[in-house]
Amino acid sequence: MQKPFAVTLDIGTSLANLTGSWRTERPEYIDYLPPCNHACPAGENIQAWLYLAEEGDYEGAWQVLMQDNPMPGIMGRVCYHPCEDACNRGKLDEAVGIHAIERFLGRTAWENGWKPIIDAEPSGKKVLVVGAGPSGLSAAYHLTRLGHTLTIREAGPMAGGMMRFGIPKYRLPRDVLDYEIQRILDLGVTLELDTKVEDIEEAFEKEKFDAVFVAVGAHLARRIDIPAYAAGRILDAVSVLKDMETGAEPPQLGRRVIVYGGGNTAMDVARTAKRLGVDEAMIVYRRSRKEMPAHDFEATEAEDEGVLIHWLRTIKAIEETMFTVEKMEIDAHGRPQPTGEFDTLEADTLILALGQDVDTRFLEAVSGVKIADDGVVEVDETMMTGHPGLFAGGDMVPAERTVTVAVGHGKKAARHIDAYLRGERYAPPPKHALAEFERINTWYYTDADKTAQPTLDFIRRQTSFDEIHGGLDETNALFEARRCLSCGNCFECDNCYGVCPDNAVIKLGAGNRFEFNYDFCKGCGLCAAECPCGAIEMVHETI
């Protein structure tokens, strides 16, 4: 009898050691983490709701979105959409306009009166939220969905926090803000306005709250000492923007205004001044455009509207309406250094936009709470302070100060508070590996440029507080949703089913994807090569 022989392959594997008759590798369906999901500070399952939106199931898409973010109409306008910066489609042509689709879903929900689904049984637990800004509202929403009874106490006269008092109407119309806040309250959340919380211990001991989440916004403007003789009017950006919301009359700024700072708030207040009719709105910032904390498009839009930006300048002295500014230069470490060269600028009003701090004095007497030198509160990985049952988020903790981050903090805190109230500890589910661009078979996708949102003309932008950017209609939103590449996750395109020469791919029915019949599969790899979204991986065979 002839002795069996083994053929050694280039990869050094003998056919005698394979589990299949012909295979050295076998295909497997793999789920990857979409880069948009990974980049979202609010933790949205973006790919999932985009999939439903591109199918025309807008209410289904909105419900998925609402599982993570209770304010899509707001977020679609004010979020700086890091999801789009991470979008793999941006390496092909242009990123999917995720924020515009989110905004469309928010508007469609309003027009159709959709309500978020809540099916949790009442827990009998009471939670106090301090602050009705984005983080507090988000926490209240998610905790209500989990079955708890929520009370929000807000020191100001209106809910919304910095969404209302820090973001101008031309970026966030107030009817949208009011509607989405009211929808949260309609779930049964109690809102107490003009109610400043000063005694946290009392909330626990006398009012019997089972947990407290503090989410006070950064409303205190930072000041700076500038030598001044008979200086003109000096205001802070936070107060100016707040007066625009609460004042009976808009602030009187004169003909020329200097805004001192280079963040998004500086851009907003300078653009607001321009809309209030000043002849000259100027920004003075000590660094270059490259180092500014504001997003680049904010500076571009400000310049488009007639705001003049003096880069690499710092104010050294003020005498009445004359401002002495020193020219700066950036050193090798990226820090501005004085040059000894000076200019003068003239203005009637100086508006300081040098950042904001949080008023944490009401927490200083609370046992176990630690407040850092920069005023933020120390929290652990569950967002709980050193005091049992006291949690903190938003501007109060170390993080980037944006609406989206704050909304994400509210959701994260709600999950940990819910676990705390149930005597458990919340463990986030493990994340899949990131779906990288190199896995996508881009030859399946035709060029489809990003849908441009309509924009208000420059004259109206300079003279009114009308919203600058318009939304998408259904046709455009559907087209934009269909630009999604479904990175790393099967969307049942049937390619693997159609190209398999061995009939080894089994369809499991709509929504259930496919599976492989390894008795038929010869490991040719055609399915993986022809998968548009890179959701099939060839895995080395083992005994």
The per-residue pLDDT for range 314-369, each reduced to its tens digit, is 999 998 899 999 999 999 888 899 999 999 999 999 999 998 888 888 898 899 99
Nearest to 195 by CA among 140, 131, 126, 238: 131
Burial 390-427 (b: 16+ CB within 10 A, else e): bbbbbbbbebebbbbbbbbbbbbbbbbbbebbeeeeee
Above 50 in pLDDT, residue 170? yes
**Secondary structure (3-state) at 349:** strand
What mean pLDDT do residues 496-523 have? 93
Q: Please give the mean pLDDT across all residues of the chain.
A: 90
Using CA atoms, how far apart are residues 28 and 36, in angstroms rounded to an integer?
24
Per-residue pLDDT for 216 more than 80?
A: yes
* pLDDT for res 231: 62
Percent of the chain with pLDDT over 90: 76
The pLDDT of residue 252 is above 70: yes
Q: In angstroms, rounded to a whole number, what is the distance separating the alpha carbons of residues 231 and 251? A: 18
Q: Per DSSP, what are the bridge partners of residue 282?
A: 258, 308
Q: How high is the pLDDT of residue 217?
A: 86
Residue 110: pLDDT over 80: yes
**pLDDT for residue 8 is more than 50:** no
Is 159 within 8 Å of 179 (Cβ atoms)? no
Contacts with 88 (C-beta within 8 Å, 6 or more apart), sequence order: 35, 435, 436, 437, 440, 485, 487
Q: Which pLDDT score, from 0 to 100, does residue 510 have?
A: 87
Q: Are 394 and 123 in contact (CB under 8 A)?
A: no
How far apart are alpha carbons 407 and 133 in whole angstroms? Answer: 9
pLDDT higher at 242 or 446: 242
Q: Is the pLDDT of residue 463 over 60?
A: yes
User: pLDDT at residue 483 above 80?
Assistant: yes
C-alpha–C-alpha distance, residues 424 and 14, integer Å: 51
- Phi, psi of 431, rounded to the nearest 5 degrees: -95, 145
| pLDDT on residue 9 | 37
Would you place residue 230 in the very low, low, confident or very high pLDDT band (cuts 50, 70, 90)? low
Contacts of 456 (CB under 8 A, 6+ apart): 466, 467, 468, 469, 470
Go through the domains of the chain in sequence order and give each one's CATH number. 15-31+490-540 (3.30.70.20), 39-116+446-481 (1.10.1060.10), 126-219+358-421 (3.50.50.60), 221-355 (3.50.50.60)
Listed in sequence order, the residues at least 6 apart from 53 whose beta carbon sits closer than 8 Å to its beta carbon are 61, 101, 105, 477, 478, 481
Does residue 200 have a pLDDT over 70? yes
Q: How far apart are CA 24 and CA 539, in angstroms?
A: 9
